Amino acid sequence: MGNRHASLAPFAPHALQAYRDALASPGAIFAMCEDYRASAGIDLEHDRADLERGLKIACPLRVLWGKEGVIERCFDALEEWRRVARDVSGRALPCGHYIPEEQPAALLAELLAFFEADAP
């Protein structure tokens, strides 16, 4: 975690301890690895099958990523999501990978704007 844009600076000591405690739980690291394996395996198969059938995510989708992160450097995030979803909005926030820790106020503003947009 400390090798990313902001290092460990955004994490309060109690937050880092919570990560350590969670990772000490039996099976936690295995489960995390399985999630990553699925995203590079069966999830891709399911996504490809949906695309072949012309299926897209139907609900509105807000996409957020860090301006200093890998997504910004390697992808057009909105264009990628528009391939698989019908109604996509979003933007890069001024941070790295850990949006909630690095830009909590900006994240909250984005979430409130997104969820209030459809409120009656």
What DSSP string describes 46-104? HHHHHHHTT--B-S-EEEEEETTSHHHHH--HHHHHHTTBSSEEEEEESS-S-HHHH-H
Q: Where are the domains of the chain?
A: 11-55, 56-120
Give the global pTM.
0.81
| Tens-digit pLDDT string for the chain (120 aa) | 777 777 888 889 999 999 899 999 889 999 999 999 999 999 999 999 999 999 999 999 999 999 999 999 999 999 999 999 999 999 999 999 999 999 999 999 999 999 986 555
